[in-house]
Amino acid sequence: MSLTSNSLPANLAKIVERFQRHTDPKKRYEQLLWYAKKLDAMPEEGKIPENKVHGCTSQVYITADLREGKIWYQGDSDAQLVKGLVALLIQGLNGLSPAEILALTPDFIEATGLQVSLTPSRANGFYNIFNLMKKKALEFQLNEGVLS
């Protein structure tokens, strides 16, 4: 199944298009490392068990805040390529509503061409990171329902 960038939120579509420009897997890795370098530092107090991504061989943490109905993530990893995946997801998902995030499926990674370059453990890590981000979005959505 081919994923079109019009079915994705604008920031995520831009990221997919950037990766699609590179046919060489090495260039895609370089793009991923570029995202890792651009990732804002995550405060140490966010690196607690409930923010840890389970099922990753590297240490990965994701936090989420809800401001004015939009989610803002922060994250970090001790592995540069995984940190690039974290940064890609954060840049692609930040500023979306919980419902928009919950509507996304992880197939957009196929459109980037990265999945063919990722080791099985890194690909699994990507899905675990994405799933934790969706879980945090679901928690916000459920809490909004309680508050309204």
Integer Cα distance of 70 and 67 in angstroms? 5
The single residue of 16, 39, 53, 56 carrying the catalytic annotation is 56
Q: How far apart are CA 7 and CA 19, in angstroms?
A: 17
CA distance 122 to 52: 16
Distance CA 122, CA 72 (A): 24
Is residue 9 part of the annotated active site? The answer reads: no
Report d(CA 118, CA 78) in Å as an integer: 17
Active-site amino acid positions: 56
